[in-house]
Structure 1
Amino acid sequence: MATRVRQAVWDCFSEARPTVQLVFLLRYLAAAGLGSPGGFPHPSRMLVGAAGWFLATTAIYLFNGVADRPEDIRNGSTRPIAAGRLPTRTALTAAGLLAAAGVACSFAPGPVAGALVALYLLLGYAYSGPPFPLKSTYYTCTATGLAAGLATYLAGFVAGGHPLDEALLVFAGMMTLWMGGVGGVAKEFSDIEGDRSAGRSTWPIVLGMAGETRLLRLLALGVALTFWTFASLYSTSLLWCAATVLLGALAVVVTAGVLHASADRSERRRPYIAFMWTQHAAHLVLGISLVAGPPV
């Protein structure tokens, strides 16, 4: 019994995509840190709030895994639900428990933080659930990604308990565009078959492989160069973060540039991998810069 429970917990965690969970947590902590250069007024409340956001994000992605099961099977996904290792009923039960725990924890920094996580969970449901899943069209899918990123930074800022500053505005704004714009396009390359079978109108289905590639390369370079410009003008301590994103944008450009119509799923996933690791790297660089000194 204990072994089955441990396996179910691990499968739920794996289904929720640990690398994605980590970057959402990093977003929350980044906003809290940039909003708190003098230290956190209530560090324990902030950490409980961060745990709540992590739990809520895990619930959202578990629910998405259940909703995406037919398409994931069509795409050849090896995640637990598509592979049949995690029953959908177990995943839905876990998602409900995680969502409830996430809401409870997220009220620790205050009522505004709690209200934000409730709205965040509603957004997560709207993305995958009936009556009109926002994942079905390229424009609603991208808008949802932007909203989820912005909500995470806003929740972290609220938990930080300090006035808004230029560094937070620049970093959160640019990384939200990186997530919703660049990531929203890059993630669709590897799921074309399943999305088409489900009747979705995603970026590659609407624009074709060549059109989506051009759009992705333009977005990646555009966001990176804009980040560098704003960091130079308003918060020079973010220049290392901007440089990290610029290097990541070049990786996205290169990996997207070599794609062709007959590329297999692993090849089509490379731009997304470059996008994802750029997010992690930029937030880690920010953490190092905050430890080294306050933003200027």
Structure 2
Amino acid sequence: MADISSAILIPQTPTRIRLRPRHARLALLEARPVVQVVFLMRYVIGVAASSAHHLLAHPVRLVAGVISWWLAVVAAYLINGVMDVKEDRANGSDRPIARGDLPERVAALLTGGAAVGALALAAFVPGLLVWVAAFLLLGWVYSAPPLPAKRWSTACAVVVFGLGWTSFAGGAATTGGRLSTAGLVFATVMSAWMALVGSVVKDLSDVDGDATGGRRTVAVRYGAHLARALGATGALLVGVGAVLSWLLWAPYMLPAMAPVAIGAVCVVVQIVRTTRIAGGDRRMRRGAYRVFMRTQYAANIAMLFVLAFHGAA
């Protein structure tokens, strides 16, 4: 009994945060490599779709910009992992923080380091600092207190649109220019794809965990049926918008817009298929999100080829 009372009365020494090489690897895994790559693709498209000429006039600036943006993405998704640990564990996630391999305090420290690194590098690239700061702010607003946007579907969609848009605009700013007409069209379509499709269908597999974490998304408040309907509607709207954008403003962008239109149909098919199958495991319910991600990759890769052959226009 004396030992117990002594343990209660004696202040406990705070546990030191010990960084190990494996923590860096785990942090990169937590920040979702697949997402890191697609954000860097958006940034590079912004560079290539800039109104400025002589894109390779400042190669050091371009490299610094790419690394800065990558660090900003890592920071945004690491803080998301730290803040989502309760929901991730409830959903059975196997990410490093959720499974206990990456301590939350270590992840938080690495988040701060990545954010500082992103801002420091951006300071050496004229015009980029404001976009990096905006991206980091949006990443914080999405995940962190006092009012994380992830709790509400509408707020989530707005912030996600901003995360996409700033990635394209930040790339253009690195060259000292702005997005060309083609860049503006593509950035708007793909940011809308993220906001109206991705931000909705990602919730279909995480309803239980989101409810545990106190979120008030459409899927939690009104059920998966309405969330599926909104996801399908959003996909069709963006798909039609992609076709109209190609016809009205950038005829040569068909190879980049076609994957969005095809992906929209595939998302709807996947949603209908999931609806018809009662229950289903988490992987099955995540099918629409996988189609969403594949569509992003296909469209971004196609846009890089379009820009390589036609220029920013």
**C-alpha distance in 1, partners of 2:30/2:279?**
28
- What are structure 1's unaligned runs of at least 5 residues? none
**C-alpha distance in 2, partners of 1:39/1:176?**
27
**C-alpha distance in 2, partners of 1:266/1:210?**
17
Q: Sequence identity of aligned pairs in percent?
A: 36
Q: Which amino acid in 2 is paired with 1:18?
A: P
**C-alpha distance in 1, partners of 2:280/2:238?**
26
Give the match for residue 9 of structure 2.
Answer: none
- What are structure 2's unaligned runs of at least 5 residues? 1-18
1:51 to 63, 67, 78: 67
User: Does structure 1 conserve the Cα–Cα contact (< 8 Å) formed by 2:79 and 2:108?
Assistant: yes
Moved more, 100-109 or 176-185: 100-109
Alpha-carbon deviations, 1:50-106, whole Å to 9, x = none? Answer: 210110110111111011001100000000000111111111111111111011112
Q: Does 1:274 align with 2:291?
A: yes
Q: Which amino acid in 2 is paired with 1:123?
A: L
Alpha-carbon deviations, 1:153-200, whole Å to 9, x = none? Answer: 111121132354210111011011001111111111111001111221
**C-alpha distance in 2, partners of 1:33/1:161?**
12
Give the match for residue 72 of structure 1.
Answer: 88
Alpha-carbon distance, 1:252 to partner:
0.9
Give the match for residue 147 of structure 2.
Answer: 132
**C-alpha distance in 2, partners of 1:98/1:210?**
39
Q: Does 1:12 align with 2:27?
A: yes
- The number of equivalent residue pairs is 292
Q: Does 1:115 align with 2:136?
A: no
Give the match for residue 239 of structure 1.
Answer: 254
Alpha-carbon distance, 1:6 to partner:
3.3
**C-alpha distance in 1, partners of 2:212/2:176?**
46
- What TM-score, normalized to structure 1? 0.94
Q: SS of the residue aligned with 2:214?
A: coil
2:308 to 287, 291, 295: 291
- What TM-score, normalized to structure 2? 0.89
- Which structure has the highest helix share of the two? 1
Alpha-carbon distance, 1:285 to partner:
0.7
2:116 to 100, 103, 125: 100
Q: Does 1:144 align with 2:162?
A: no
RMSD of aligned Cα (Å): 1.6
User: Does structure 2 conserve the Cα–Cα contact (< 8 Å) formed by 1:8 and 1:86?
Assistant: yes
Moved more, 24-33 or 203-212: 203-212
**C-alpha distance in 2, partners of 1:43/1:232?**
35
**C-alpha distance in 1, partners of 2:87/2:177?**
43
User: Does structure 2 conserve the Cα–Cα contact (< 8 Å) formed by 1:46 and 1:108?
Assistant: no
Give the match for residue 210 of structure 1.
Answer: 225
Rg bigger for which structure? 2
